[in-house]
Chain A
Amino acid sequence: MDLVAGVIANGVLMGAVYALIAFGLTIIFGVMRVVNFAHGEMVVIGMYAGYFLWAAFDTHPLAAVLPAAALLFLIGYLLQFHLVQHFLARPAHVQFILFIALALVITGAHLVAFGPNPRGIFSLASFEVYRIGGLRLDAVRSQAAAAALLIVALLWAFLRASRLGRAIRAAADNRTGAAVVGIRIRHVYAVTAGIGMACAGAAGALVAPLFDTHPFLAPEFTLIAFITVILGGIGSLPGALLGGLLIGVAEAAAALVLSPSMKSVLSYGLLILVMLARPQGIIGSPEGQR
């Protein structure tokens, strides 16, 4: 019983980080209707940022979150402003190939710069556990989950309340209308892409102490982000949160019941089921689908 509870709890913790990754993907799609197929590569950039900050300064894993997010914001802003912007009106498959090309370039650059070998962060903190009742929670994982949830909450508030956040939502709802009232669409889009990729980067820094960093992790993160987003409803922010938690628990449960290498079987099964029964996602609205 304790084992099951522990597995579920750890799944929830991982799910919070997945939610942050998915949050980034879904905000980019929700505003610009572009699917970032290089999202996992952005996570890996964040992981390398976390690793090298730790290797150089022996920083606490959480200290790398802000620099990683800032770096990825910059990358996202520039990519959107100078490259992706020209592809917004192009068909989906062209955008798809654009991002696949970007993903190949990033993975290639990672390989050239850092090599294929996995790099792990070794710190004493990774042996710490929190005890809540009979439950033992991995400390690093708990901190990552808490940080991820905090970032999601802050972004949520930013989108609701701030001027720029409202401009982003306006641009998502009605592009022409937003332009008419004086919103600089291209800048707002670039900020949105920056935020979306910063989410991936922050999540990367958070998971760097949990997984060994190497370039080939990227596709796995991209796929997890997709499943998460579709489960919750593409373009829906609460959906990303719900999807993340679901996937986290599903992975943990499959790893326990089946085998650790089959952890994603349940996620894919869940995905196909949701796609057929409720294609707009569990929370998403039907109009978000197109």
Chain B
Amino acid sequence: MRRGAIAVAAFSGLLALGPLVLDGYLLSLLALAFAFAFFGAAWNLMMGFAGMLSIGHGLYIGIGGYTVAVLLVTFGVSPWAGLPLAGLLCAGLGAAIAWTGFRFAVRGVYFALLTLAAAELARILFEHWPFVGGTGGFFLPALPPGNVPLLTLRGGPEFFYFAFLLLLTAALVLTLAIRHSRMGYRLMAIREDEDAARASGVPVLRMRIAAAALSGGMTGIGGGLFALMNGSLFPNTMMGVAISIEIMIAPIVGGLGTVFGPAIGALFVMPVHELSEHLAQEAGVFGLNTLIYGLLVLLVVLFLPAGIGPSVARLLRGRR
């Protein structure tokens, strides 16, 4: 626990120095990596600790994002109020899905498909809801001159770099705390053997709802900030299948069920993603990036089944 805390402090402290040496492009790239590390950490709470596979986490990004954006643009509510509201709403949604799922004994693959169905249903409804712009999208107005990022929670790459780094740090601390708490042990017991956990008095349904609410709420807040960063929202990019899958890749590549897995995975995957996109553009071959990305994920699944994080940790320990 103490070593973990030192590691979090070192990780975030080092990255906080980033803006001293990095330019705007790299900062926005890293801000995106932090965002996906954060989403991955939230998803990891459900999958990595409680063993609940959600393949529809885009739902929370979308609902969180649209909540913050609509409140801001249509009702003039500051994101300072919008973000917590988005978190609460998504926590409620997560709890509702977990409750319906497990209340009706929807297990394993079925639960995963239930999350996917909920996300797809929301996407289609949003695409046909004129109030949120439908497929045409929903746009935030341009920033006024003399914008104060800390007031509007909108700004340049540097602001979002720090904002997502802060969120990610909070998520790492939270994961670390949960990992060593009663809740963490209970969740991992459910993941390993649900029936045995129930027999030892773990309130399985309640723990699952708690994990889903926490994960959904975090993702909702992240989604709100994500929308503020992008400035535009489309149902397909905010809650489509693609973003739901994208969220999962970082924690799985980095190391499922570990504290740092999602962060390591995102910091590894994002540059590869960007580099392959660059390569595809240079070569003028459309789709080369998708191919490279797919091959990379395939290689990790084949040769580093536990993820990069644990393999690196083992390497470091071996040297010592």
Interface residues of A (CB under 8 A from B): 35, 90, 92-94, 96-98, 100-112, 115-116, 215, 219, 223, 226-227, 230, 234, 258-259, 261-262, 264-265, 268-269, 271-272, 275-277, 279, 289-290
Contacts and interface: CB of A to CB of B under 8 A. Distances in A.
Interface in B214-240: none
Given A271-B117, A290-B107, A101 B301 contact: yes
Contact of B245 (A100, A226, A264, A269): A100
A93 B290 CA distance: 21
B110 A275 contact: yes
Contacts of B113: 226, 230, 271, 275
A275 B117 contact: yes
Interface in B233-285: 241-242, 245, 248-249, 252, 256, 285
Contacts of A112: 285-288, 291
Contacts of A109: 287, 291
Interface residues of B, number: 46
11 contacts: A92-B109, A96-B53, A98-B298, A104-B291, A104-B293, A108-B292, A108-B293, A223-B116, A223-B241, A275-B113, A279-B110
Contacts of B125: 265
The 7 residue pairs across chains A and B that have the minimum distance between CB atoms: A111-B287, A104-B294, A108-B291, A108-B290, A105-B294, A101-B298, A101-B297
A261 B121 CA distance: 13
Contact of A110 (B120, B121, B287): B287
B67 interface: no
A272 B118 contact: yes
A237 to B, nearest CB: 18
B106 A276 contact: yes
Contacts of A275: 104, 106, 110, 113-114, 117
B128 A108 contact: no
A184 to B, nearest CB: 24
B47 interface: yes
Nearest to B289: A108
B298 A279 contact: no
Interface residue SS majority, chain B: helix
Interface residue SS majority, chain A: helix
A279 B287 contact: no
B112 A96 contact: yes
B13 interface: no
Nearest to A269: B121
Contacts of B107: 289-290
B295 interface: yes
Interface string B157-182: 00000000000000000000000000
A153 to B, nearest CB: 28
A263 to B, nearest CB: 9
Contacts of B128: 258-259, 261-262
B121 A268 contact: yes
Contacts of A98: 298, 301
Interface in B115-153: 116-118, 120-121, 124-125, 127-128, 135
Given A107-B287, A108-B294, A111-B288, 15 more contacts: A92-B53, A97-B252, A100-B245, A105-B298, A109-B291, A111-B286, A112-B288, A115-B286, A261-B135, A262-B128, A265-B125, A275-B117, A276-B100, A279-B106, A290-B107
B100 A100 contact: no
A108 B117 contact: no
Contact of A272 (B55, B117, B293): B117
Contacts of A234: 109-110
Contacts of A219: 241-242
Contact of B287 (A92, A215, A223): A215
A111 B291 contact: yes
A288 to B, nearest CB: 11
A35 B190 CA distance: 23
A107 B104 contact: no
Given A93-B252, A226-B113, A262-B128, A116 B297 contact: no
B114 A272 contact: yes
A208 B112 CA distance: 30
Interface in B41-66: 47, 53, 55
Given A90-B305, A97-B301, A268 B293 contact: no
Given A101-B294, A112-B291, A93 B121 contact: no
